[in-house]
């Protein structure tokens, strides 16, 4: 597998992971509202 194919494969995996996130997921929500005390 060449580097371009490997990068494309990793990119697809990352996109799948991102699509599965919801705002209610603790880690994702923490990053979304980090430093914004208005929403805590």
Contact call for residues 19 and 25 (beta carbons, < 8 A): no
Provide the 8-state DSSP code for 25.
S
pTM (global) more than 0.75: no
Structure confidence by residue, pLDDT tens digits, 1-40? 799 999 999 999 999 988 887 767 777 777 777 877 665 5
**Cβ atoms of 23 and 32 closer than 8 Å:** yes
């Amino acid at each position: 597998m060449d580097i371009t194919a490997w990068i494309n494969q990793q990119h697809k995996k990352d996109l799948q992971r991102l699509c599965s996130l919801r705002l209610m997921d603790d880690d994702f929500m923490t990053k979304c509202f980090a430093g914004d005390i208005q929403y805590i």
